[in-house]
Structure 1
Amino acid sequence: MRILVTGAGGAIGGAATARLVEAGHDVRALVREEDTPPDVDGVEVVRGDATDPAAVAPAVDGADAVVHLAATPAPLGRPEDVFVNNSCATLVVLQYAAEAGVGRAVIASSVSALGLAWAREVNSPAYVPIDEDHPFWPEESYGLSKQVDEATAAMIHRRFELPILAYRFPYTTTAEALAERAAQVRADPAEAVRELWAYLDVRDAAEAIRLGVESDVPGFHPVYVMAPDTLADRPTAELVARYHPTSEVRTPLAGRQTPYVITRAEQLLGFHARHLVAGDRTGETN
């Protein structure tokens, strides 16, 4: 396949680019002028901003699929800049991709759309495990931009019938950074109370992206993509009872199970995170 990756200079973008090339795909990477392109042989690098139709239109031309990852990755800077950049980029990329006849898109959403991670005070979910129907309560522009990104993707699908998967990523980084974060969380679980202790290794994010662009799943779907366990070393039920006592427990949480419903990723994509902080079910570790 010919695949355009926006935001290819970022951590997830670089890992996704490498994984797609490894899987035999031809990748075009859209990278801003000031960003370093992914260090992957055989990738066509094009310079431009994902908010700019003059850059996006030629970049999507001839692509079979688009992976849209370009975004300000947190509520950094002026709220209006974060919101406008993220929301505009998603609309431009998906609009021009659909008009160009691209067959599939995968975009980066975020658990931040729920409004928990960046809330002014600790904000507990209405219920756990959190599924894709949980309401959005963002209190800042980044979470709001991700909510709008999903609404934009749903609109593009309705208008053009472009299949789109919106991955709600948790805290996603390298194995080394996850190990450091896990040490902090295990010393004090309150360190990740806003994130509900969820995480994902960037290599698993890249694999989920590969599965998404290679899938034949129709429609628009938001999907939680994350590890099946948490960064904490205590039972999740104990953590929820202590730090989120107002949350309804709809299904018992076993062991260190992530307090999110991740079955949609399994059912639609066959995705299972393999790079876990404490090793996975098959014995593989970081």
Structure 2
Amino acid sequence: MTRVLVTGADGTIGRETVRHLVALGFAVTALSRSFEHPCVADRIVTGDARSPEDVGRGLEGADGVVHLAAIPHPRLGTPLEVYATNTTATYAVLSLAGERGVRRVVLASSINAFGVPMNPHDVGPAYYPLDEDVPADVADPYSLSKQADEAAARAAWRQWGTGVVALRFPLTQQHDRLREIAADVARDPAVMAREGWAYLDVRDAARAIEAALVAELDGAHVVGLAADDVLLAVPTTELLARFAPDVPLRWAVGPDDALVDTRRAREVLGFRPRHSVHACAAGGSVQELDDLS
């Protein structure tokens, strides 16, 4: 693989991905509706991932695609805008890449593809640790769009033979921003109980994308991602006991364990996260749950 198109290249994951791939020696075409940050890609396309013309320009010379462009939350537009924007952009990228014989597309899916974290009803996960087959309960347009994107990945493989990897990203940010979010969540840990307090350092997100681009595989794959621990400096067992006591466990969970099953990332992509939000925590001790009341 020589040239990679990255859509959504000016977003948080997009910027880190472009930097990471360029550092590895890839030629990168960066596509975004606007560029508010410096971009190290050697080709820049200002355009919309929903536009066949803009995507076509971005695909010139590309033999791999990383599709990150999306409206990332259901409240950042009307339900129709969120769903239509995300699904139209994904299918535009997949269909044009397929027609041009691009052999690998990596899509940004989301932990929200199973619907529970953003569900407006009082629902919880069917079990922990979450995996790619956890039963879905979808009621919001963003989660629905990610579920549709994963279905589109399977269709692209069947129609054009394109190898597609849909990565289910959890909360993904830079290290310092994750620590800020963790401090906010610590005031009300219940707000992240439905997603198992899962997170990923953006540097690991870029590494996972690299792994998905170069892995030897065929077909369409959905792969869950998360750090090896939870966002809060609190034992996982205590979080479960207090905020998700009725969610069944698929196996015994230890105090330092994550609540996302990432075996598929290891087995299919050879990927393991390297970074923890707690790496620089003073003293390395956990908080007492009483401090989170």
- What is the TM-score of this pair, normalised by structure 2? 0.90
Contact 2:118 2:140 in 1 (8 A): yes
Deviates more, 1:207-216 or 1:11-20: 207-216
Displacement of 1:197: 0.4
Contact 1:125 1:244 in 2 (8 A): no
Closer/same/farther in 2, CA of residues 172 and 42 from structure 1, 3 Å limit:
closer
**SS of residue matched to 1:116:** coil
Q: Which residue of 1 aligns with 2:62?
A: 63
Q: Which residue of 1 aligns with 2:31?
A: 30
Query: What's the Cα RMSD here?
Result: 1.6
Q: Which residue of 1 aligns with 2:291?
A: none
The alignment covers a number of residue pairs equal to: 278
Contact 1:62 1:102 in 2 (8 A): no
Residues 207-253 of structure 1: CA deviation (Å, up to 9, x unaligned): 11111112222211100111011012222233223322332211111
Percent sequence identity over aligned pairs: 43
Q: Runs ≥4 in structure 1, deviation > 6 angstroms?
A: none
Give, in whole Å, the separation in 1 of the partners of 2:112 and 2:40: 33
Q: Which residue of 2 aligns with 1:51?
A: 50
Matching of residues 1-286 of structure 1 within 5 Å: 1-32=2-33, 35-36=34-35, 39-75=38-74, 76-279=76-279
Give, in whole Å, the separation in 2 of the partners of 1:199 and 1:153: 24
Displacement of 1:191: 3.5
Give, in whole Å, the separation in 2 of the partners of 1:144 and 1:191: 20
Give, in whole Å, the separation in 2 of the partners of 1:42 and 1:124: 42
Give, in whole Å, the separation in 2 of the partners of 1:242 and 1:122: 16
Closer/same/farther in 2, CA of residues 232 and 101 from structure 1, 3 Å limit:
same
Q: Which residue of 1 aligns with 2:286?
A: none
Residues 99-136 of structure 1: CA deviation (Å, up to 9, x unaligned): 10111010000011111221214421111111111122
Contact 1:127 1:247 in 2 (8 A): yes
Displacement of 1:254: 1.3
Closer/same/farther in 2, CA of residues 38 and 213 from structure 1, 3 Å limit:
farther
Give, in whole Å, the separation in 1 of the partners of 2:191 and 2:180: 12
**SS of residue matched to 1:194:** helix
Structure 2 residue runs without a partner (length 5+): 281-293
Residues 45-101 of structure 1: CA deviation (Å, up to 9, x unaligned): 012111111111232132110000000011121000000000000001001001101
Aligned AA (2:105):
A
Displacement of 1:38: 5.1
Deviates more, 1:115-124 or 1:22-31: 115-124
Give, in whole Å, the separation in 2 of the partners of 1:42 and 1:108: 20
Closer/same/farther in 2, CA of residues 231 and 122 from structure 1, 3 Å limit:
farther
Structure 1 residue runs without a partner (length 5+): 281-286
Displacement of 1:260: 1.2
Give, in whole Å, the separation in 2 of the partners of 1:57 and 1:37: 23
Residues 8-50 of structure 1: CA deviation (Å, up to 9, x unaligned): 0111011100000000000001111xx2165233420012111
